[in-house]
Amino acid sequence: MTTFDYIVAGAGSAGCVLANRLSADPRVSVLLLEAGGVDRHPLLRIPKGSGMLFENEKYMWHYATTPFGPDQHSEQWMRGKVLGGSSSVNGLIYNRGHRPDYDGLEQLGNKGWGWDDLLPIFKSFEDNEFGASPTRGIGGPLHISVPKDPEPLCEEMLDAATRAGLTRVQDINESDDERVGYATSTIRDGRRVSAATAFLKPALGRPNLTVATRTVVHRILIENGRATGLRVHGPRGAADVHGRNIIVSLGSLNSPRLLQLSGIGPREVLRAAGVPVVLERENVGRRMREHRCATVRYRLNADLGYNKMISTSLGQALTGMKYLATRRGPLGAPSFDIVGFAKVRAESDRVDGQIMMGPYSLPPYNKDGEPVRIEREPGLSCLGMALRPTSEGSVEITGSSPDAALRIEPNYLTSPEDRATTAALLRRMRAIFEQSPIAERISHETYPGPDVHSDSDLVDSALLGGYCGYHAIGTCAMGPGDDDVVDDRMRVRGIENLQVIDCSVLPVMVAGNLNGPIMAIAARAAELILGD
């Protein structure tokens, strides 16, 4: 029977980094498990191409939430099911968060997770096209760039944003102040750079690294309070794999799910699902925080922007031909061309809202699960999210089978702070589009509409017609307390040789998009593991 030194469950943003960093030591053996397949589909290379795979269950996990909002509708949360995980299908925006976010982790009692610990990690794997600086890295495997030939409307939106009080910057990660600029993204020469591209593929030739795809983890094997392996189901059926150290890197939905299926979690949840209690841990699956993206959409008074290029068969064909010839155009850009950060509440001590703008528009959110399509009529979209939500949701299993549905309670915008920040942010977003030169391009606001003004109506508009940020955290949160699921070495309290290393360990939200921070957290965790 083969026993690996490390078994990593999940080949997403965290798992790919862990596989790379741990297998760099030739003395140890590493097994990486991934439920999805290899990332060979050509659409996974095209930055906006992954959108055409969102409904494909071969490449995506789909989870339905419980009903929420004024109309009590459910929505689907999606995650990547392929090597690279969600980094292979995401919007590619690369934010690192702000210094106080990481220093705040340390102040909560998590030693070794301050900004001075994480900045060298970021710099070590970055290859920033703007060159090296005290806070930027070059020469690493993760290429960072900005759009090469943005639509002219982007310059007009940037000009309007500066008139609305934001400072234009070249690199949005070079400052923690109010700012706006082109979105930094994980794109190299018009092609996606996923965690699999940057970290896993360079390590695949190592004899001490084994990668098993299409292998679903069903349960953690636990003997006498010690994790000894995993029960999996792969192409050859069910099997047990054994390891001296088990690392769960399945994300904020599937990591708590696996722990609960293995008998680690809230007693009442496990009993209701018919799972024997191995270790009662009240906060497994609890304390989840997620960004709710509020939106403002506008109709343009001329046929400008991306809608005409990507909403019709002819436009898509021409745009596709341009991309294939030049690696440029809308298909070669991140989800949003422009990113800004603003302080929207006077009582906030730092930037508290993120703004993302693009020269295209989506129709109102479809609550029936149908794919979202680009509108044909020309438009602009602006999304915003309260950076550090305090509202808490939960994830619970509903049965003992790995195929049983998850119960996901988003609990978006239930705290007074989140509601006030979201309303203030929507007003700041509108203020940008009231400025020249973009104001002269606008015919009218299509959502939420000119009659929506009060705080409660603005918040309702975010719940009714907004979007999930796909940045869930906290369901296996780290901290110094006995009730925290993992400690600051990400070891599961009460079970030896078991760690959770992914976005679920964050006790509070790191400001911005999470792909970059999770790669850094995994690299830092690997550093600590090898050091220990």
Please give the Cα distance from 281 to 464 (Å, whole number). 34
3-class state of residue 191 by DSSP = strand
The mean predicted confidence, pLDDT, of the chain is: 94
Is residue 82 a known part of a binding site? Answer: yes
- Residues 161-171 have pLDDT tens digits of 999 999 999 99
In 10 A of CB 313, how many CB atoms? 7
Q: Where do we find the tokens 């018009």?
A: 190
Q: Give me the half-sphere count of Cα atoms (radius 13 Å) on the Cβ side of residue 425.
A: 33
Is residue 169 a known part of a binding site? Answer: no
Catalytic residue among 98, 143, 291, 471: 471
> What is the domain partition of the chain in residue ranges?
3-531
In this prediction, residue 365 has a pLDDT band, given cuts at 50, 70 and 90, of low
pLDDT higher than threshold 90 for residue 214: yes
Q: Return the pLDDT at 513.
A: 95
Percent of the chain at pLDDT > 70 equals: 98
Please give the Cα distance from 404 to 259 (Å, whole number). 14
Q: What is the mean pLDDT of residues 385-408?
A: 97
Bridging pattern class, strands 237-248 and 498-500: parallel
Q: Where do we find the tokens 């400690």?
A: 487
Paired residues of 297 in beta bridges: 381, 447
Q: What is the mean pLDDT of residues 402-426?
A: 97
pLDDT higher than threshold 80 for residue 317: no
Is CATH 3.50.50.60 correct for 3-531? yes
Q: Is the distance from CB of 385 to CB of 95 less than 8 angstroms?
A: no
Q: Return the pLDDT at 370.
A: 59
pLDDT higher than threshold 90 for residue 368: no
Q: Return the pLDDT at 362.
A: 81
Which residues lie closer than 8 Å to 229 by C-beta, 6 or more apart?
3, 7, 220, 221, 240, 241, 242, 243, 246
Q: Which long-range contacts (CB under 8 A, 24 or more apart) does 228-234 make?
A: 228/497, 229/3, 229/7, 230/7, 230/9, 230/33, 232/33, 233/402
Q: Which helix (H) or strand (E) holds 339?
A: strand 338-342
Percent of the chain at pLDDT > 90 equals: 88
Q: What is the dihedral of CA 48, 52, 56, 59, to 10 degrees?
A: -20
pLDDT higher than threshold 90 for residue 328: no
pLDDT higher than threshold 80 for residue 195: yes
- Residues 376-387 have pLDDT tens digits of 899 999 999 999
3-class state of residue 383 by DSSP = strand
- Residues 228-277 have pLDDT tens digits of 999 999 999 999 999 999 999 999 999 999 999 999 999 999 999 999 99
Distance of CA 489 to the CA centre of its chain: 22
Q: Is 471 a catalytic residue?
A: yes
Distance of CA 500 to the CA centre of its chain: 17
Which residues lie closer than 8 Å to 224 by C-beta, 6 or more apart?
none
In this prediction, residue 329 has a pLDDT band, given cuts at 50, 70 and 90, of confident
Q: What is the mean pLDDT of residues 185-212?
A: 97
